[in-house]
Amino acid sequence: MGITVVGSINADLIARVARHPSPGETLSGEGGEISAGGKGANQAVAAALLGAEVSFVGAVGDDPYAEPALEYLRASGVDLSAVKRAANTQTGLAVITVAEDGENTIVVIPGANGLVTRDYVRDHRGKVSGADIVLLQGEVPASGFAEAVSLASGRVVINLAPVVEVPRDALLRADPLVANEHEAGLILEQLGAGAESGEPHAIAEALLKAGFASVVLTLGAKGAVVADAEGLRDVATPRVSAVDTTGAGDAFAGALCSRLLAGDGLDAAAQFAARVGAHATLASGAQPSYADMDTQLPAC
């Protein structure tokens, strides 16, 4: 059945500013448009655009934000038969501020994503248990996250962003865990572990020692580190002039899963994902910036 994503669907409200405001400061900005987002939806769209068969387990509200939030999921061919349209509920909303250097800050209001609980996931067990890869993030309730892991019979890929408290046994099923340096540090804290230093190889090694079978540690413009029983390897990323980094990490995760599904090893999948993630920074927004199978990706 390909990839099943159990995750969030958001509408993104985007504001552009010269720089991020300091606490208590008001700045003038531009933008205000609504586009499709949510870490789960972003990753599902990224994988589907690259040729993967993708199903989604999630929820939206019955408000005006639902349709723009679903636009790219529909257009990319993601199976939405397990996406609930909840009455009297607000679609998840992300308020995103993008500075001139492309860096962003994001505040997420869960809305209907909070309905993706243990019972809801269990109601759609066939989508989860039949998947070759189950892809999870941190924007749905921990009970739904844990239920998806328990139902999974295929590979479990976890990008615990944001880092929230989830059952230890469920989290350690990740193969791989995909995390940036900040997220990795919080995950180590959650597991009661630590790294010898803040150096990427030390962080990746600490995650392996904590019990993960494999790790992909993303480093933004510095590339990534792949770690598993065979050791640690560096992955290069293309040098690009970023316009907007929103959703680039999600593009990476979706692309990684698309190549794992196609049979690539972790190193080759991560190298491809780095190129897809870099491409996603070249245009504004998350899903509108994603590559498809005809895109000429930047070279490393």
Q: Any known ligand binding at 81? A: no
List b or e across 51-69, with b for residues whose CB sees 16 or more CB atoms inside 10 angstroms.
Answer: ebbbbbbbbbbebebbebb
Q: Any known ligand binding at 36? A: no
Catalytic residues: 250
Note the pLDDT of residue 172. Answer: 98
Tell me how crowded residue 162 is: count the other CB atoms within 10 A of its CB. 12
Backbone angles phi, psi at 34, to 5 degrees: -110, 130
Any idea which residue has 């350690």 for tokens? 172
Structure tokens at 289: 């910036």
Distance CA 104, CA 99 (A): 6
Q: Is the dihedral of CA 294, 278, 16, 108 positive or negative?
A: positive
Note the pLDDT of residue 258. Answer: 98
Percent of the chain past pLDDT 70, that is, above it, reads: 100
Q: Any known ligand binding at 148? A: no
Note the pLDDT of residue 206. Answer: 98
Q: What is the mean pLDDT of residues 123-138?
A: 98
Tell me: the pLDDT tens digits for 244-295? 888 999 999 999 999 999 999 999 999 999 999 999 999 988 899 999 999 9
Q: Any known ligand binding at 274? A: no
The CATH number of 3-9+38-89+111-281 is which of 4.10.520.10, 2.60.40.420, 1.25.40.10, 3.40.1190.20? 3.40.1190.20
Q: What is the mean pLDDT of the chain?
A: 96
CA dist 242 to 14, 178, 191, 277, 299, Å? Answer: 16, 22, 34, 11, 15
